[in-house]
Structure 1
Amino acid sequence: MSRQTPRAMPDEQQATALERLIFNHRPVVIGLCLLVSLVLFWQATLIRPSTSFEKMIPLQHPFIERMLEHRNDLANLGNTVRIAVAVKEGDIFDPAYMETLRQIHDEVFYIPGVERSGLKSLWSPSVRWTEVTEAGFAGGEVIPTPYDGSPASLDALRDNVLKSGQIGRLVANDFRSSIVDVPLQESYPDPLDPSRQLKLDYQQFSHQLEEKIRDKYQAQNPNVEIHIVGFAKKVGDLIDGLLMVALFFGVALLITWALLLWFTGCLRSTVAVLVTTLVAVVWQLGLMHAVGFGLDPYSMLVPFLIFAIGISHGVQKINGIALQSSDADNALTAARRTFRQLFIPGMIAILADAVGFITLLIIDIGVIRELAIGASIGVAVIVFTNLILLPVAISYVGISQKAVARSKADAHREHPFWRLLSNLASARVAPLSLGLALLAFAGGLWYSQNLKIGDLDQGAPELRPDSRYNQDNRFIIEHYSTSSDVLVIMVKTAAEQCSVHSTLAPIDELMWTLQNTQGVQSAISLVTVSKQVIKGMNEGSLKWETLSRNADVLNNSIARADGLYNADCSLAPVLVFLNDHKAETLQRVTAAARAFAASHDRDGLQFLLAAGNAGIEAATNEVIASAELRILLLVYLCVAVMCLITFRSFAATLCIVLPLVLTSVLGNALMAFMGIGVKVATLPVVALGVGIGVDYGIYIYSRLERFLRAGLSLQEAYYQTLRSTGKAVLFTGLCLAIGVCTWMFSAIKFQADMGLMLTFMLLWNMVGALWLLPALARFLIRPERLAGQPGGGLLGH
């Protein structure tokens, strides 16, 4: 003991209060972490996939506020599912087909979460036909009374369908399929306890559609083929696909274990890093459940990020302990020295990670805010698991003598690769590097002008083009005149004024304007019904297919326009069916509607945008477009402020932040090149890439500054930096990229897009830190001013 005291005392004197608190009470630290892990592991086992319609939309956007305000007046225009029941041979006027359709209608009626009053198919009493006869109007239900499946009743059914106006809407243009329109409730009474409300479980609802509808009736009638589209079905498919992330997580874990073992050359330290990082993931999942969050299609990606970030900080700790072990008496001393040296840089890097997540809170979309909160919780627990628990664990298990010997040998030999790379800080190479960086920046900035906001493909771009959902969506687009992309403009008037000529005439003009707008398929409103009825009242003459100025005629003409005006005739929706929900289509149509509203709004008459799934998409795109630049600026501002506080140097801050700016610009150019729009799924990548990527620069510059203060020249200081931390930075970049690159093989396209973008940004941030940071330091840092000075900023001792 006496022999070790002279060496231990200086270490003890240099120790901070936090270091003494942790390492003088190691059993307590281990015990507390074990206790917390057990509690949060139990909580993590309780977490379940969970999402809702309202979490996926920007609730504070004017479009959504108006839609929710008039939700009760917009029948079947919110969260709906469309089930197309098709025949492989023949047409729908077949007794076996009609019986199958009836059974499907009845089966869907009893699925929990269905708004039964709004359920519509050919078997619904509300689906009627109307015709003009010599005696006046005649009409009735589309299904003839009586219907017995005989040839005569089928002929009557065919006639009724032709007179119903449902061709292209509920019945396909080729008469080979028909639609069951299924409106949904976000919450519904518990069948066992009506006083209790249950939330719609999208995954369970999707499974019921597959099992009770698609699988059952396709097996029952081999001539029937079923296609299902709608928000609930899409989300259900997303959750099913995302459950495969467990497989990707396992693959990433195995690859990371192999690379860690190669990097450290020590099984004990490899296991320690993996275990503490997995503890961080468990804590994050447990805390998410404890605060009331579930896993939705976006937050299911967070455990990957926490694992990748934890591994990156774990690698830095193990690398530092290995270097310290070469001249430390024992594992405890090496762990304490490493903790003392890397805790502050690690904390700053973690704070930068957290900033990247927290800035996402400014986006008014529930799933992104939950992702931000969940990820912020995750990076917070890394402070305890990887910055505190890991060094304490290594102080007990130590590092193998073989790994220490290898580290000691590395510390005393020349490294040709790092020596070659150190030329990036030389006076000859640095200008070339900056020139290339400026060219890349200018090229990326120019090409990123092609970057679009929103979806760039038909169907559900979150899923693969060949997914069952997108195949079903293509079927409906090809066989029906009314697409599943509906923009609803709400015409608001005083009570009992929606049917007057002064209201209907502007609605007619609005429909004409929109129908002549590129991307619009068709539009319907009570004007459509009114014109048809007035024409019918005048012996079907086409010249009478217009609006009458007679109030009684107008009132009679809209009597059967069910769903196209509300109970007190103060709201009349205009349904605009679009070719697709691409960003350009939505922008073009909403711009035309806004321009019309601006010139036609008056007291007692307002044209309000917008409802329908296309209206929701348009609102989401506008929120994303307004938030994109703010998030980017806020992330960089916060990261720059933290670097400035840490290093107390504008030059150091520029050296760390400018490589990140280059990566962001090149990332936008890559998204434009790959045809990936900026949307809910990809916007978080901007913040995540910057927040996580700053780790490299902080670790490299903190070491570089120490060597410069020791009096070394810039190039030699950079060489020593690479020898001590370059390998860890290089390895960290690869580990982070591996942690997310497995997403690219996901069946979920948005997950694959996020994987591609994060892999690119993390690797390029690493390249920027190793390549561009020393070149910037050559022009911005004055080594002679740092030489011999005591450490400044938070990193100084």
Structure 2
Amino acid sequence: MPTEPQSKTPRGLLSRLECRLFEYRKAVLWLLALFTVVMGWFALQLRMDAGFEKQLPIGHEYIDTFSTYRDDLLGANRLIVVVRARDGDIWSSDGLRRLYDVTQTVTYLPFVQRASVLSLWTPNAFVNEITEEGFRADPLVPGTVTPEHLGAEEISAIAHSTAQGGFVGTLVSRDQRSAMVSAELKEFDADGKRLDYMAFNRLLESELRQRFEDAAFEIQIIGFAKQVGDIAEGAVSVLEFCLLALLLTGLAVYWYCHSIRLTLLALGCSLASLIWQFGSLRLLGFGLDPLAVLVPFLVFAIGVSHGVQQINFIVREIALGKSTYDAARASFSGLLIPGVLALVTAFVSFITLWLIPIPMVRELAITASLGVGYKIITNLLMLPLVASMLTLGADYAQIAERSRQQRAHWLRGVAGLAQWSRARWVLTVAALLLGVAVWQSHGRVVGSLQAGAPELRSEARFNQDALAIASGYDIGLDWLSVVFEQDVGGCEQVALGQYQDRFVWAMQGVPGVLSVQSFSTAMRQYNEGYNEGNPKMNVVPVDPLNYSALANEVARKPGLMRADCSMTAAHLFLADHKAATISTVIDAVKAFRAEHSAAGIRIRLASGNAGVLAAVNEEVEKSELPMLLYVYAAIALLVFLVYRDWRAVLTCCLPLTIGTFIGYWFMKELQIGLTIATLPVMVLAVGVGVDYAFYIYNRLQLHLSHGQPIVKAAEHALLEVGVATIFTAITLAIGVATWAFSELQFQADMGLLLAFMFIVNMVMAMTVLPAFAVLLERIAPRRTPLRVSDALLH
């Protein structure tokens, strides 16, 4: 064990804390080890947890409408299963029998609302026929026909009724090769048990795909439940790539410090905080959402960054002749302030995610904040305490000193950028780059830029199924339900039908709208039917008694109205759920509502899955700027409180600002939308960028306090921590860049975005920060020598 050093009487709170911790280091480490074991037990019980309700923004106008009328409208949590004949069409005894079996299976799946199941075989699918006696509604498949007795005559009659009833393009594809079964899902069953999306996805595969798909028929399945299930299945690859990143990071850290023990120490401390994080989530009753599965490993990356800085400090001190014990103590006291400053800033950054009133995002904010908070203990306290227990001999000190000199040699060129003759060119380029990045980041999209599930690859089975279904049916798989409210008992108020008719006419020409189903269009159809099919009667009736009678007929069709006519709906089926498509349609509805008002009638947005996505996109867009302002305000406040210098605030924030806008530009070029999955990554990038700036500026302030001129202080700061900063950025970038090969598209996108942001923030911190510090010193030179706290001088 290393000999306890004879040090001077400690001064200041930090010195007293250092003495107490290292005096009782064994007891502290035993407590931390015990805590890790306990939290590891709970971490093993953590499970994936997805939920439709967790993605609904709290208090949003659209979600209020969705919640109010969720039992009266087409549900947003919808399951669609398509039976497709590989050869020929669906009109065969085998095809219709297969459709019947699938319909029965879907009907009796858990969490399916049985009354909502719709296919050719369900009683709620009927054809409206105009006869001499008037209007008649018959089931598409007569009750006398059974799957076991399907002859050519019965099949022909069903096909004729399907075409006559207008179900080609809705229940049967336009090419007649497939037929659809749709159903609404409940989040909770009668016993209050919550839908497990991962288990339900496995049930869909076993009970539908594996059971009914063969050489003759293909089974296609889409819907929120299937999408989340596939994402969760793909999330297994997240662990594989994170392990690969861990391995690459370990190899790089070993190359950097040439010590297996120090390498395992850096990785082990970061893993300890990950265990604590998972255990805390389990204790809080949370699971790990598939869309947030990357966040813990992103926080792990922050831990590695701080661990490398600690090891860099320890190795440098050993190379200068100190014992491992003394080097560990120096590392603790020298990096505690900038480390806590950086981690608290990252903590505040993640906490700002709570501003977005989406339960999943708020759960993610807690997840990330816990991880960052634990880093303060594991990387700034545990790591130097464990390091002090190690023994590294003189040979290692000589190797470390030789490596330090070699690295300092090639880094002197970078450190030379702090000279004013070069710094002004750095600042000129930085200013131009900031201007271009700000300009190019305009027009970035909030929401999805892909037609299918953006979290999955375009070649994924879900997206292929979605593309095939969308191309074969007239009704889009994405729809926006617009609600029209009036006073209860208004079934004789013809003004509502006529007003909605004008709305439907206006919406049919909006780009992205494929078709419209509404109360008013149903009224037109019924009015024509009851008048012997006269095309002139394809209008909303103006006679109140006739209008009321037809409203009672329309009420038989689910999803269009309430029986008392207090609510009627118009369903706008969209070409896709891209952010541009949804926003265009939403704007068109709002414009109509503003320009065409009607007394006693209120238009409410919006239900349907597009309504939910619109609400999420609006909340993300509304929260983005306040979040960034809060983050930068927190950074500025913390930096000023620690350094008591306005120059420090500007110097640390400018590189971060440039890096943020370059990141937005990168997202736009790669067509990565700002979503609830990508927003935390941008917040993380800010956190890591702050780390680089704080560690460099901390050493800069220290050398200034020793009386060095600004140029020399900047050069020495870069020589001391520049290698660790560059090494950390490159190592982490290489690690996350491997995610580009993941089967999850959003993991691949996040890997590229993070790798890019790690490098950009490192370059900004290494070049713009010292150059800007030199500029500020020239513009506003200090009148008195710089004084810093004992903490920074220690």
- When normalised by structure 2's length, the TM-score is 0.95
Q: 1:671 to 1:784 in 2, by over 3 A?
A: closer
Of 569, 575, 580, 1:573 maps to 569
Q: Is 1:102 equivalent to 2:96 in the alignment?
A: no
Q: Is 1:795 equivalent to 2:777 in the alignment?
A: no
For 2:754, the aligned partner's letter is: L
For 2:235, the aligned partner's letter is: L
Q: Is 1:406 equivalent to 2:406 in the alignment?
A: no
Q: 1:637 to 1:120 in 2, by over 3 A?
A: same
8 Å Cα contact 2:249-2:732 kept in structure 1: no
Of 584, 593, 597, 2:580 maps to 584
Q: 1:549 to 1:602 in 2, by over 3 A?
A: closer
| Cα deviation 1:613-668 (Å, max 9, x = unaligned) | 11111112211221121112211111111111111111111111100111111111
Aligned partner of 1:192 in structure 2 is none
For 1:172, the aligned partner's letter is: S
What displacement does 1:756 show? 1.6
8 Å Cα contact 1:519-1:589 kept in structure 2: yes
3-state SS in 2 of match to 1:188: coil
Per mean C-alpha deviation after superposition, the further-off stretch among 594-603 and 661-670 is 594-603
Q: Is 1:198 equivalent to 2:193 in the alignment?
A: yes
Of 475, 478, 483, 1:485 maps to 478
CA distance in 1, matches of 2:540, 2:207: 46
Percent identical among aligned pairs is 36
3-state SS in 1 of match to 2:484: strand
What displacement does 1:312 show? 1.0
Aligned partner of 2:357 in structure 1 is 364
What displacement does 1:145 show? 3.3
What displacement does 1:383 show? 1.2
Aligned partner of 1:62 in structure 2 is 61
3-state SS in 1 of match to 2:71: helix
3-state SS in 2 of match to 1:83: strand
| Cα deviation 1:85-123 (Å, max 9, x = unaligned) | 111222222111111111111111221111112111111
CA distance in 2, matches of 1:456, 1:499: 44
Aligned partner of 1:431 in structure 2 is 424
What displacement does 1:327 show? 5.0
What displacement does 1:274 show? 1.3
8 Å Cα contact 1:266-1:399 kept in structure 2: no
Structure 2 stretches of 5 or more lacking a match? none
| Cα deviation 1:263-282 (Å, max 9, x = unaligned) | 01111111111111111111
| Cα deviation 1:440-493 (Å, max 9, x = unaligned) | 111111111231222222121221111111111111111100011100001111
Aligned partner of 1:150 in structure 2 is 151
Per mean C-alpha deviation after superposition, the further-off stretch among 114-123 and 477-486 is 114-123
Q: Is 1:640 equivalent to 2:636 in the alignment?
A: yes
8 Å Cα contact 2:656-2:690 kept in structure 1: yes
CA distance in 2, matches of 1:687, 1:213: 41
CA distance in 2, matches of 1:24, 1:62: 58
CA distance in 1, matches of 2:231, 2:492: 43
3-state SS in 2 of match to 1:576: strand
Per mean C-alpha deviation after superposition, the further-off stretch among 135-144 and 510-519 is 135-144
| Cα deviation 1:363-411 (Å, max 9, x = unaligned) | 1222221111101000111111111111111111233544322233456
8 Å Cα contact 1:299-1:370 kept in structure 2: no
CA distance in 2, matches of 1:483, 1:414: 60
3-state SS in 1 of match to 2:642: helix
Of 6, 9, 16, 2:7 maps to 9
For 2:351, the aligned partner's letter is: I
Q: 1:412 to 1:531 in 2, by over 3 A?
A: closer
8 Å Cα contact 1:646-1:795 kept in structure 2: no
* CA RMSD, Structure 1 to Structure 2 (Å): 2.1
Q: Is 1:71 equivalent to 2:70 in the alignment?
A: yes
Q: 1:246 to 1:714 in 2, by over 3 A?
A: same
8 Å Cα contact 1:581-1:614 kept in structure 2: yes
Q: Is 1:51 equivalent to 2:50 in the alignment?
A: yes
Of 744, 754, 758, 1:762 maps to 758
Aligned partner of 1:307 in structure 2 is 300
What displacement does 1:163 show? 2.5
Aligned partner of 1:169 in structure 2 is 170
Aligned partner of 1:494 in structure 2 is 487
8 Å Cα contact 2:317-2:327 kept in structure 1: yes
Q: Is 1:207 equivalent to 2:202 in the alignment?
A: yes
Q: Is 1:522 equivalent to 2:518 in the alignment?
A: no
Aligned partner of 2:225 in structure 1 is 232
Alignment of 1:265-414 (within 5 A): 265-326=258-319, 330-409=323-402
What displacement does 1:778 show? 1.1
Aligned partner of 1:193 in structure 2 is none
Q: 1:400 to 1:207 in 2, by over 3 A?
A: farther
| Cα deviation 1:333-374 (Å, max 9, x = unaligned) | 221121111111111111111122111111122222111110
CA distance in 2, matches of 1:400, 1:518: 73
CA distance in 2, matches of 1:788, 1:10: 25
What displacement does 1:715 show? 3.0
Aligned partner of 1:85 in structure 2 is 83
| Cα deviation 1:508-563 (Å, max 9, x = unaligned) | 00000000112111111121221112112222121111111122322332334212
Aligned partner of 1:716 in structure 2 is 712
What displacement does 1:794 show? 6.1
8 Å Cα contact 2:681-2:754 kept in structure 1: yes
3-state SS in 2 of match to 1:548: coil
CA distance in 2, matches of 1:413, 1:522: 69
What displacement does 1:701 show? 0.8
8 Å Cα contact 2:485-2:602 kept in structure 1: yes
8 Å Cα contact 2:76-2:612 kept in structure 1: no
Q: 1:413 to 1:263 in 2, by over 3 A?
A: closer
Q: 1:325 to 1:151 in 2, by over 3 A?
A: same
Of 722, 727, 749, 1:753 maps to 749
For 1:795, the aligned partner's letter is: L
Q: 1:387 to 1:498 in 2, by over 3 A?
A: farther
Of 207, 226, 244, 1:251 maps to 244
| Cα deviation 1:576-613 (Å, max 9, x = unaligned) | 01112222222221111112222444453111000001
3-state SS in 1 of match to 2:84: strand
CA distance in 1, matches of 2:718, 2:251: 23
For 2:443, the aligned partner's letter is: N
8 Å Cα contact 2:407-2:723 kept in structure 1: no
Q: Is 1:546 equivalent to 2:539 in the alignment?
A: yes
Alignment of 1:172-187 (within 5 A): 172-187=173-188
Of 675, 679, 692, 2:675 maps to 679
Of 235, 246, 257, 1:242 maps to 235
8 Å Cα contact 1:415-1:723 kept in structure 2: yes
3-state SS in 1 of match to 2:290: coil
For 1:178, the aligned partner's letter is: A
8 Å Cα contact 2:497-2:520 kept in structure 1: yes
8 Å Cα contact 1:647-1:794 kept in structure 2: no
8 Å Cα contact 2:85-2:178 kept in structure 1: yes
What displacement does 1:740 show? 2.6
Of 110, 128, 131, 1:130 maps to 128
8 Å Cα contact 2:66-2:606 kept in structure 1: yes
Q: 1:87 to 1:485 in 2, by over 3 A?
A: same
For 2:440, the aligned partner's letter is: Y
3-state SS in 2 of match to 1:149: coil
For 1:614, the aligned partner's letter is: A
CA distance in 2, matches of 1:61, 1:250: 39
What displacement does 1:13 show? 5.8
Structure 1 stretches of 5 or more lacking a match? 190-195
CA distance in 1, matches of 2:784, 2:262: 36
| Cα deviation 1:655-707 (Å, max 9, x = unaligned) | 11100111111111111111222222222233221122100010001111111
CA distance in 2, matches of 1:198, 1:396: 51
Q: 1:703 to 1:670 in 2, by over 3 A?
A: same
8 Å Cα contact 1:248-1:743 kept in structure 2: yes
